[in-house]
Structure 1
Amino acid sequence: MPLLSLEGVSLAYGLHPLLDDARLIIERGERVSLLGRNGEGKSTLLKVILGEVIPDGGTVRLEDGAVMAVLPQMLPSDDQRTTYEVVADAFPETGLLLAEFHTLSQQADEASLKRLMQVQEKLEVLDGWRLDQKVNAILAQFGVDPDQVLATLSGGWQRRVLLAKALVAEPDLLLLDEPTNHLDVPAIAWLEETLRQYPGALLFVSHDRAFIRRLATRVVELDRGQLVSFAATYDRYLELKEKALEEEERQNAEFDRRLRQEEAWIRQGIKARRTRNMGRVRALKAMREERRQRRERGGNASFAIEDAARSGKLVVEAKNAVFAYGDQDPIIQDLNLTIMRGDKLGLIGENGTGKTTLVRLLLGDLEPREGQVRLGTNRSVAYFDQLRGELDPEQNALENLAEGREFIEINGQQKHVLGYLQDFLFSPERARSPVRVFSGGERARLMLAKLFSKPANILVLDEPTNDLDVETLELLESQLVAFNGTVIVISHDREFLDNVVTDTLFLDGSGRVRTYVGGYEDWRRQGGVFPSERPAPEKPRAEVSAKAEAPKAKPSGGGSRKLSYKLKLELEGLPERIAALEGEIESLQATVSDTAFYARPHDEVSKTLEALATREQELEQAMERWMELEEMAG
């Protein structure tokens, strides 16, 4: 029996159903990526599965005795509970008692002690101590202080706590809605590894293509109310989807051609109508109804960036700049940086390292405490806020964008605001809806519409990829690449950075800003490491072995050093390891490329695809390690 099955599920809110006789089966151990355009109803589908939304028709079945949990998209705004209380809440009745016991155990008055004994007795009856151990164990595993108030944590740490809550009950099925939003790259990597080791099934919605590639064993797409399953990796899904769309377009064109022929026949003269074939007439009526019922695939977003007059060749120059808030330690120090017109910079760093502060310093919004920040001439800045703070939730999309204008001029051409919004996939009806009812993806598209409606030669984008569907994301990438002005991007989307930026600024948390040529993967290849990824120093077993094996920093001048015996052995063995991996990958790719592969049992397909993804990752790591040791050996 499947772990989860949806049969004939239907749900309608507007003109077209979000779910139209939708069907889905998820087996144990699968990791299913749920894809679809913004507004297709992915989050609603998760709510249907959770029972929070009742469908108009059809059935949703979870295997008897199976446990389901969810990692929600939205973070709590002001939850004053401790992290222990939040995670313990995964066990409804027992969790309340555990949270109360945890609080009372830190108090010493007589009333508290009396109540503590009562709670303790109830917990013993409910086997609460075993659950208490599970809560404390997972908090320790995730590195979370059980007494920390949730509201005081960053978004990344809040998401870590909520994941602990979801996993502590050992669910058979875990639902995740945009789990990487507000996480920095190390946190995303930690999440990927945690979920890869999770033995249960996953159904997740994500815009992060690298995250999907790393996790998904199958892709399910929500398209015009239908759930279409692709037993394939993400890259293979893209190939299959393109072929499916081409075939759909061919079939529709052929159908429309035959319909036009029949319409021409029915419109012939009176004599022809007297002798017409009534069966053919009935067939024409059926064709008309079929054409009327056809749901066309929604158009792609189509937008361009309004270029302002060119800025000066120099955009900003910082010399020995230092910035700190009040008497606090410097957030930015010894900043030496020159940005020229046309540069496209990506800022990366763990949360809290000062990326937004650096941007404000470069824009002239903040004054350095020491040193100098010189701004260029003729600067026109457009800013994309990751919190969507420039949108008034009570106004509709039209009011948020127009600001009293009826027409918007884009690169010399005027467009009516409603027509302009349609380029961002807002129908006239949706454009008149209040922003507070918009999905995260719709808000992101409206922010882009507002951003690009004003002339700019400097674009600053703070986490622009959150909630955008892949097609809109790819269009945004192409527009930024073609943009003649300067782009500064704060993003934790690794693939987006690789596709857009020419240089990467890395903030390591000490206040230093280092510049690297290229995107995220280029930064990695040049030795880029986040502070949290560096292993804690180990105590040497003996002074001699410590001197022999402890890695030394490579001199800045690029000189070589002698490898230790252990590293030499590792280097000598890597070519053989790489060759073996390449052979395995070639064999697995041949298997996957076989036209009969996807007709095999689902478990076999999933295991093969997962093995291929694992071997490819191992090969990449082995190649990077080989290059690193070769460089060290000189």
Structure 2
Amino acid sequence: MSLISLLDVDYSIGGPLLLDGVSMTVEANERIALIGRNGAGKSTLMRLMVGELKPDDGEVRVAGGVRIARLEQEVPAGAEGSVFDVVAGGLGELGAWLAEFHRLSHAAEFDAEAMSAVQAKIEGAQGWTADQRVAETLERLGLDGDAVFGRLSGGMKRRVLLARALVSAPDVLLLDEPTNHLDIEAIDWLEGFLKSWQGSLVFITHDRRFLRALATRIVEIDRGSLTSWPGDWANYERRREERLNAEAQENARFDKLLAQEEVWIRQGIKARRTRDEGRVRRLEAMRVERRQRREQTGNVRMDLAQAESSGRKVIEAKDATLAYGDRVLVRDFSTRIMRGDRIGLIGPNGSGKTTLLKGLLGELAPVSGEILQGSNLQVAYFDQYRATLREDWNALDNVSEGKEFVEVGGRRKHVLGYLQDFLFTPERARAPITRLSGGERNRLLLAKLFAQPANLLVMDEPTNDLDVETLELLEELLGEYAGTLLLVSHDRDFLDNVVTSTLVMEGGGRVGEYVGGYSDWQRQRPQPAPAPAAAERPAAPKATPAPAAPRPAVRRLSYKETQELEKLPARIEAMEARMATLTAEMNEPAFYQREAAAITAHAAEVAALQADLDAAYARWEALENPQ
């Protein structure tokens, strides 16, 4: 059953259509990832689904009785008071009455008249079940209803706003960048929660691992059009590359034919004879088609300003203890960072990552021990809150700071041309910074950062609001960076692809040091052994070491399993061929003109086939590595 249907929807905010005749459906229990370049229209599509915007043309249909809730990127205006107040606000007027009842019941002085009035309103709306739902939602998400919302961390605020969206018991949940400002522990929690949530989910994310864990379908917005893919990120990347290559070849063939026709028309009056009027009309039509072609958005072109090399030893800490106020966050920490190291910092929000960074950079003196900086350090700092951008300057002024040229990658560039490498048109470069989107602000901060000669890059959450293409380019640039990098990030794939070692805030002031990225840390981290019950603890003799556990023998496959393993590759290949056919059909413009039952059946076959493929791959791995 289709819960939401978009039929030939157009939407524009000036210039080319942001959404151009798009059609799609949201089915029951689907988890759809919306992807596309910054500014492609992902958030706009969500706002159309929830009814906050109306299409210029076409229709958005919501099935009768379907409830939709949306979690926005930013904290909405008016979200204040206690956590209970904010969560209950998701119920509209009834929520306001419940919040008032909650406030009165916790007040120091009992106001019987006010309490009686608000109780009557709630009972008249049969709202006590909603009050119970608020309490259950708070408990389920581990939230204290009496806590002051304004004093919470960014990650906890996101969790409260998720509770606000869930309390209305929506059939469809829309999440816009839900992992922004969440630490890794919170992202893992959110993944698990959403996997078990019973309902349909449409989400926008730059976190590729989060997407791979959740999406059953990927919908890409590109130049006003929608393309639907099964929820397999690797398959999407492969097939998208094939499509773009085919598109480039077709465009090149068309442009060559158009050039030939332009030569022909300029040969003289002979071309305009009556018998050639059809050819002239075809040329005019080709010119119109070429003018209407929407080129793919260009990629950011990144390069780093060169600085003199730092000394070989960049930073050394010896038994350093760092505190924030009276609270010790780093205790007896020692490390040595050498030129060319790329260090990732991992830890929950509030665990002391920023304090550790300040200590390493010499901005915070240790309580005990010492931290020494090497020679000839030139530091460039990327701030996740973008505080280094001046709000009263435009993008051009923020990068140029009064200069006309910047020196980047050994080349002298005009500032305006340099900003075009970061996808800023001259108009956007001169526009007030307050009009820039989150993605544009992050690109601007990267442009400002990379224009500064530096041999030590410090980057605090640089991936927020960046599209996947820009993320991958940033990964490539940092991977080739000859200087030293200190990186705070909660993007697990980004850490895996960039850093050479990690510093992990392990609690109690301990900082663990591990080789490799996030996945390497997960493999190396010590796993706490479950303590046996007191009655089960034997008094083992101290002098006798425990015998080493025998290595388990590798199980041999049975004849039936061997036959199954031999047939699996051909079976998987056949399923992938069928998946390719189904995907191609979904990408045809006429697909969404079919009967609703046919579309639903098609989507169900895709979902079932994807589940079979996943199971086949898992079985293949199990047979290849028998335990």
Contact kept? 1:354, 1:509, Cα under 8 Å:
no
**Counterparts of 1:168 and 1:574, CA distance in 2:** 50
Deviation, 1:527, is 2.5
Per-residue CA shift, 1:27-84, capped at 9, x if unaligned? 1111111111112121222222222223322211111110000111113588431111
Deviation, 1:587, is 8.3
Partner of 2:419: 421
Deviation, 1:158, is 1.0
Question: Per the alignment, in what secondary structure is the counterpart of residue 461 of structure 1?
Answer: strand
Partner of 1:461: 459
Contact kept? 1:350, 1:508, Cα under 8 Å:
no
Deviation, 1:21, is 1.5
Q: 1:285 to 1:387 in 2, by over 3 A?
A: same
Q: 1:147 to 1:547 in 2, by over 3 A?
A: farther
Partner of 1:233: 232
Partner of 1:153: 152
**Counterparts of 2:622 and 2:304, CA distance in 1:** 38
Q: Which shows bigger deviation, 222-231 or 492-501?
A: 222-231
**Counterparts of 1:335 and 1:619, CA distance in 2:** 45
Partner of 2:400: 402
Aligned length: 601
Question: Per the alignment, in what secondary structure is the counterpart of residue 605 of structure 1?
Answer: helix
Amino acid corresponding to residue 302 of structure 1 in structure 2: R
Partner of 1:198: 197
Partner of 1:260: 259
Q: 1:272 to 1:158 in 2, by over 3 A?
A: closer
Q: 1:458 to 1:144 in 2, by over 3 A?
A: same
Amino acid corresponding to residue 496 of structure 2 in structure 1: D
Partner of 1:511: 509
Equivalent residue for 1:496, pick from 489, 494, 497: 494
**Counterparts of 2:159 and 2:404, CA distance in 1:** 45
Contact kept? 2:554, 2:626, Cα under 8 Å:
no
Question: Per the alignment, in what secondary structure is the counterpart of residue 90 of structure 1?
Answer: helix
Q: 1:180 to 1:543 in 2, by over 3 A?
A: same
Q: How does 1:194-593 map to 2 (within 5 A)?
A: 194-274=193-273, 277-326=276-325, 328-527=326-525, 540=533, 543-544=535-536, 589-590=572-573, 592-593=575-576
Deviation, 1:589, is 4.0
Deviation, 1:572, is 7.7
Contact kept? 1:217, 1:610, Cα under 8 Å:
no
Partner of 1:83: 83
**Counterparts of 2:124 and 2:84, CA distance in 1:** 21
**Counterparts of 1:470 and 1:429, CA distance in 2:** 24
Q: 1:615 to 1:528 in 2, by over 3 A?
A: farther
Q: 1:586 to 1:322 in 2, by over 3 A?
A: farther
Question: Per the alignment, in what secondary structure is the counterpart of residue 507 of structure 2?
Answer: coil
Per-residue CA shift, 1:529-561, capped at 9, x if unaligned? 6xxxx79x7883x612x559x9xxxxxxxx986
2:605 is the counterpart of 1:604: yes
Amino acid corresponding to residue 576 of structure 2 in structure 1: S
Amino acid corresponding to residue 601 of structure 1 in structure 2: H
Deviation, 1:260, is 1.1
Q: 1:8 to 1:78 in 2, by over 3 A?
A: closer
Deviation, 1:127, is 2.2
Contact kept? 1:506, 1:514, Cα under 8 Å:
yes
Contact kept? 2:272, 2:280, Cα under 8 Å:
no
Contact kept? 1:8, 1:59, Cα under 8 Å:
yes
Q: 1:76 to 1:51 in 2, by over 3 A?
A: closer
Q: 1:162 to 1:426 in 2, by over 3 A?
A: same
**Counterparts of 1:575 and 1:157, CA distance in 2:** 50
Question: Per the alignment, in what secondary structure is the counterpart of residue 328 of structure 2?
Answer: coil
Stretches of structure 1 that go unaligned for 5 or more consecutive residues are 551-558, 627-634
Q: 1:179 to 1:625 in 2, by over 3 A?
A: farther
Stretches of structure 2 that go unaligned for 5 or more consecutive residues are 583-600
Contact kept? 1:214, 1:613, Cα under 8 Å:
no
- Percent of counterpart pairs with the same letter? 49
Contact kept? 1:75, 1:155, Cα under 8 Å:
no
**Counterparts of 2:76 and 2:260, CA distance in 1:** 59
Deviation, 1:375, is 0.7
Q: 1:448 to 1:317 in 2, by over 3 A?
A: same
Deviation, 1:490, is 0.2
Partner of 2:176: 177
Q: What is the alpha-carbon root mean square deviation over aligned residues?
A: 3.0
Q: 1:448 to 1:611 in 2, by over 3 A?
A: farther
Q: 1:139 to 1:614 in 2, by over 3 A?
A: farther
Amino acid corresponding to residue 106 of structure 1 in structure 2: H
Amino acid corresponding to residue 258 of structure 1 in structure 2: L
**Counterparts of 1:161 and 1:621, CA distance in 2:** 40
**Counterparts of 2:243 and 2:3, CA distance in 1:** 28
Amino acid corresponding to residue 94 of structure 1 in structure 2: L
Contact kept? 2:383, 2:460, Cα under 8 Å:
yes
**Counterparts of 2:432 and 2:298, CA distance in 1:** 22
Q: Which shows bigger deviation, 313-322 or 406-415?
A: 406-415
Per-residue CA shift, 1:303-362, capped at 9, x if unaligned? 111120000001010001111134x13111101010000000000011111111111111
Deviation, 1:275, is 5.8
Deviation, 1:612, is 4.8
Contact kept? 1:32, 1:203, Cα under 8 Å:
yes
Q: 1:574 to 1:316 in 2, by over 3 A?
A: farther
Question: Per the alignment, in what secondary structure is the counterpart of residue 59 of structure 2?
Answer: strand
Deviation, 1:412, is 2.2
Amino acid corresponding to residue 594 of structure 1 in structure 2: A
Partner of 1:554: none
Normalising by the residue count of structure 2, what TM-score does the alignment of the two structures yield? 0.90
Partner of 1:630: none
Per-residue CA shift, 1:119-162, capped at 9, x if unaligned? 22332232222111111111111111111111111111111111
